[in-house]
Structure 1
Amino acid sequence: MVLERVQDVASLSKESIPEEYIRLDDEQPGSTTVQGGVLEVPTIDMRDDQDEEKLLRAIVEASQHWGMFQVVNHEIPAEVITKLQAVGKEFFELPQEEKEVYAKRPGSQSIEGYGTMLQKELGGKKGWVDHLFHKIWPRSAINYHFWPKNPPSYRETNEKYANYLHGVVDKLFKSLSLGLGLEGHELKEAAGGDELVYLLKINYYPPCPRPDLALGVVAHTDMSSFTILAPNEVQGLQAFKDGHWYDVKYVPNALVIHIGDQIERFSGGRY
């Protein structure tokens, strides 16, 4: 049996949304978000001619005091990210039966594949999001069954993005290691070294008639070492700080970095 996809629900929901997508009162963004308050998380310039000490200090301070920050001049060309976003959007615009070819297998414990439910649906509540999830590195870990053949440029685009991503990942690991008084390579080695797995997740949020009541992705921390988020032009990211939820101001062409649970543990809670 195919699970009902949020994209299908959205096509039928013109003025209201089904009860299972309406969050509990203490989760509804309409009442939990600080209205008019936009959170400006630290923005860090990563260009190569930047002073190394200054860059190190900025990454360490943001990781200690915020747990998230944005990076600019990260050397991933804007057109590579734009193309990555475009092929993802094209996939979700395919006919439903074509997308289902890449669906998670029934009963599978793997997170890879096209799907709707990812986390436990507490209280029977659902997130307003569909997703495509698969590994993009190392090549030995990739299962191309979950890589769409349509659009035709999907594979080439993802591989190009992954190749550029290594530079960002290595700079982050090096800075975070040095900030703990370790050698620059130690945190990456602890996280898997050359066998460190990169996971790509494309979230697709269909238009929602009641965004004040629904959440795309529920409140969470990331289980990874860190998350590198490439948002599009639609503002939607929120962060919890000082006991309140805020909309996060996104800087064009920036990547948002989230410190994950693994780095928090590796650092003894310093990050």
Structure 2
Amino acid sequence: MEAVRVQAIASLSKCMETIPSEFIRSENEQPAITTVHGILLEVPVIDLGNPDEENLVRSIAEASREWGIFQVVNHGIAGDVISKLQKVGKEFFELPQEEREACAKLPGAQSVEGYGTKLQKEVEGKKGWVDHLFHKIWPPAAINYQFWPKNPPSYREANEEYAEKLRGVVDKLFKSLSLGLGVEGHELKDAAGGEDLVYLMKINYYPPCPRPDLALGVAAHTDMSTITILVPNEIPGLQVFKDDHWYDVKYIPNALIIHIGDQIEILSNGKYKSVFHRSTVNKETTRMSWPVFLEPPPELEIGPLPKLINEGNPAKYKIKKYKDYMYCKLNKLPQ
């Protein structure tokens, strides 16, 4: 049976001022009630082109400890590379549904790759107002082109170019995060999988929603990977939980948004914090975002870096294979 896509539900809901009950969040989650209105959260903005490495390392380490999220400018990825990525992603979601379904996630598949709607176990049966497309973009050995759209024709080229440019940003982030922990520049990336680190692209497509006050695009969560590098479109919607409240994040033009994920929190033994965040939807306009999750290889065991552990600072996290961590997280099981 073909899955019901949120995009199709949005088309039907357009004429009505209601949404199906499974998209209506409980009061403690509804954005209209739980968001601090009128204040845009200014998360740290870091100049990745800063020639003063000490200063750069300090800024990134501080943002990762205090916030778990920051934006980077002067990251070295040209605006047209990002524009092309956004353009082909948008064009894919504007194709007729049967064409999109050609990339659909396979029923019962263990992997998240493919076009889909539901991602993880839904608490209280509540659904997110979002469709998505997942596929790996690096390293070449991990890529399955079955899940890459054939249309638009320039889709592959735009994604490959973005992946190529992203690698420099990834190396710089890992190096700074390592140095910020007082270990050598290569250690954090090596512990997360080194050159086998998987770059998993996700395109989030949030169609217009008649009741954005009641629904969420993606419910509150932390990312289970190491680092997430996110390109938003011009429609705001990312919210961060800070000082016990939900705030809208202020976007900076041409910046990449960086989330610290669970595996960096684990590797740093809790020094760096995984950011608790969610996404809201818009009444008039489609919102989209392009996060890339940097995932350890599935069989790799991840635990706190041994150099950070001593009598005064015991390990706060278990050592676990990444695939087992992922399974527990998606199925809402204790770690």
TM-score, reference length from structure 1:
0.99
2:301 aligns with none
1:3 aligns with 3
| Amino acid of the structure 1 residue aligned with 2:41 | L
Q: Give the Cα separation in 1 of the matches to 2:227 and 2:215.
A: 26
2:31 aligns with 29
Q: Give the Cα separation in 2 of the matches to 1:16 and 1:89.
A: 26
Q: CA deviation at 1:50?
A: 2.4
| Amino acid of the structure 1 residue aligned with 2:43 | V
1:226 aligns with 227
2:48 aligns with 46
Q: CA deviation at 1:156?
A: 0.4
Q: Give the Cα separation in 1 of the matches to 2:129 and 2:145.
A: 27
Q: Give the Cα separation in 1 of the matches to 2:81 and 2:25.
A: 36
| Amino acid of the structure 2 residue aligned with 1:13 | S
Q: Give the Cα separation in 2 of the matches to 1:185 and 1:7.
A: 43
Matched, 1:162 2:163: yes
Matched, 1:20 2:22: yes
Q: Secondary structure at the match of 2:218?
A: coil
| Amino acid of the structure 2 residue aligned with 1:17 | I
Q: CA deviation at 1:147?
A: 0.3
| Amino acid of the structure 2 residue aligned with 1:46 | L
5+ long unaligned stretches in structure 2: 273-335
Q: Give the Cα separation in 2 of the matches to 1:36 and 1:7.
A: 29
2:309 aligns with none
1:65 aligns with 66
| Amino acid of the structure 2 residue aligned with 1:153 | S
TM-score, reference length from structure 2:
0.80
Q: Secondary structure at the match of 1:218?
A: strand
Alignment of 1:1-271 (within 5 A): 1-14=1-14, 15-47=17-49, 50-271=51-272
Q: Summarize deviations over 1:6-32 as a string: whole Å, max 9, x none.
A: 000000102111111001110000000
How many residue pairs align between the two structures?
Answer: 270
Q: Summarize deviations over 1:113-156 as a string: whole Å, max 9, x none.
A: 00000121111110000000010000000000000010000000
Q: Summarize deviations over 1:210-241 as a string: whole Å, max 9, x none.
A: 10100000000000101001011001100000
Q: Give the Cα separation in 1 of the matches to 2:51 and 2:65.
A: 21
5+ long unaligned stretches in structure 1: none
Q: Secondary structure at the match of 2:77?
A: coil
| Amino acid of the structure 1 residue aligned with 2:6 | V
Q: Give the Cα separation in 2 of the matches to 1:159 and 1:205.
A: 24
Q: Secondary structure at the match of 1:230?
A: strand
Q: CA deviation at 1:52?
A: 0.9
Q: CA deviation at 1:82?
A: 1.0
Q: Which has the higher helix share?
A: 1
2:308 aligns with none
Q: Give the Cα separation in 2 of the matches to 1:157 and 1:106.
A: 28
Q: Give the Cα separation in 1 of the matches to 2:122 and 2:9.
A: 17
Q: CA deviation at 1:109?
A: 1.2
| Aligned-residue RMSD, C-alpha | 0.7
| Amino acid of the structure 1 residue aligned with 2:130 | V
Percent identity reads 74
Write out the 4+ residue segments of structure 1 that deviate beyond 4 Å after TM superposition. Answer: none
| Amino acid of the structure 2 residue aligned with 1:202 | I
Q: CA deviation at 1:107?
A: 1.0
Q: Secondary structure at the match of 2:109?
A: coil
| Amino acid of the structure 2 residue aligned with 1:50 | P
| Amino acid of the structure 1 residue aligned with 2:127 | K
Q: Give the Cα separation in 2 of the matches to 1:209 and 1:85.
A: 24
Q: Give the Cα separation in 2 of the matches to 1:268 and 1:96.
A: 45
